[in-house]
A = this chain, B = another copy of it.
Amino acid sequence: MTTAAEPKEASEKIDLLLRMYRQMVAIRQFEGQVNELYTRALMPGLAHLYIGEEAIAVGVCEALDRTDYVTSTHRGHGHCLAKGASPDLMFAELLGKKAGYCKGKGGSMHIADPATGNLGANAIVCGSAGIATGAAFSAKRLGNGRVAVCFFGEGALGQGVLYEVMNLAQLFKLPVIYVCENNLYTEYTHFSETTAGDILTRATAFGLDAASVDGQDVRVVHETAKRLVDRARRGDGPSFLLCNTYRYHGHHVGDINREYYRSKQEEQEWKTQRDPIANFGKWLIEQKLADAATLAQVQTELEGEMKKAVEFAVAAPYPGVSEVEEDVYA
């Protein structure tokens, strides 16, 4: 190895860190706009905000290639963005516009994008576990070196199909990583009321490699994800990554009064002490990898981008009614 490589490696590493910061901020701002669209009654239906959990999508997706696959959930905007989707086409989809990723047919819970390996968000809890496992199956059979990541909330641990596909993935040694985002609540019920035993053991019981990380620390998420992705790509089979996290907002944008299922104090603690963006920003500054002005500029730039993206979406036309019967069959 030449000595010249070292500065390059270091600068690549800094690039990665700043990119992760930028992506986390992008997700948070995107979601802020979504909430705004809802309260301004511009968005049909509801949406589930990812605010507070940004480090997971970003840390994991930065360990993936563009051609690698992800599957996502009802709380999926973060995964889509982290995998490379454009905010304007996402907003358009959220508003049911023709320009959206799915021509308006999918909406918030069904954004899919072959160009970024996004197999689709899914409104059935655990509904994409089979799909992600199948994508890993294809990758292995076709020998294209890809891996698949299946994101899901801890509520999906209640769905039996998860255990069925983990068993299959291990038997077939498939390159799939099951990423469990434990944000402590399903809709309005604490996970301890619905989850007996030990989460990680539920994966190791099927022979999977399993790890648990602080989901608010993007560096830890990323390093661990990288290890599991490398492992999968090498042919060492599936794994399970448990990320402990918290959603700042309600289950969906309309879930405003939450005190009957969780305390304001708990929310406050997570927001003030464990915020993935604030803490990571502080660390970047401490390590002298960025200064406060640079980070502030990221914020400002993204604010502008997001506003433009929203404007695009709001102005975009709806699909024509005749399109309703298109795309049923290929």
Q: A105: CB under 8 A from chain B? A: no
Taken together as a complex, chains A and B put the C-alpha atoms of A290 and B278 apart, in Å, by 78
Q: A198: CB under 8 A from chain B? A: yes
Of the residues B164, B171, B195, B207, contact of A193 by C-beta under 8 Å = B171
| Chain B neighbourhood of A205, CB < 8 A | 197-198, 201-202, 204-205
Q: A196: CB under 8 A from chain B? A: yes
| Chain B neighbourhood of A316, CB < 8 A | none
Contact with B along A173-200 (1 / 0, CB 8 A): 0000000000000000000011111100
Among A27-35, A45-53, A155-163, A263-271, the stretch that binds chain B is A155-163
B158 with A171: CB separation less than 8 A: no
Taken together as a complex, chains A and B put the C-alpha atoms of A193 and B198 apart, in Å, by 26
| Chain B neighbourhood of A158, CB < 8 A | 164, 167
Of the residues B162, B164, B166, B204, contact of A201 by C-beta under 8 Å = B204
| Chain B neighbourhood of A279, CB < 8 A | none
| Chain B neighbourhood of A202, CB < 8 A | 163, 205-206
| Chain B neighbourhood of A195, CB < 8 A | 167
| Chain B neighbourhood of A208, CB < 8 A | 197
Taken together as a complex, chains A and B put the C-alpha atoms of A201 and B163 apart, in Å, by 13
Instruction: For residue A2, give the distance in angstroms from its CB to the closest CB of chain B.
Output: 44
Q: A170: CB under 8 A from chain B? A: yes
Residue of A160, A166, A193, A206 with most chain B CB atoms under a 10 A cut-off: A160
| Chain B neighbourhood of A196, CB < 8 A | 166-167, 170-171, 206-207
Known: A163-B160, A164-B160. A194 touches B171 (CB 8 A): yes
Taken together as a complex, chains A and B put the C-alpha atoms of A205 and B198 apart, in Å, by 5
Taken together as a complex, chains A and B put the C-alpha atoms of A201 and B164 apart, in Å, by 15
Contact with B along A202-229 (1 / 0, CB 8 A): 1011111000000000000000000000
Q: Taking A171-B193, A204-B205 as given, write out 8 further A-B residue pairs in contact, using a Cβ cutoff of 8 Å, ordered by the A residue number.
A: A157-B167, A159-B164, A160-B162, A163-B202, A167-B197, A170-B196, A171-B194, A196-B207
Q: A residues bordering B, Cβ < 8 Å? A: 157-164, 166-167, 170-171, 193-198, 201-202, 204-208
- 9 tightest A-B CB contacts, nearest first: A160-B160, A197-B207, A170-B196, A201-B205, A197-B206, A196-B207, A202-B205, A205-B205, A163-B163
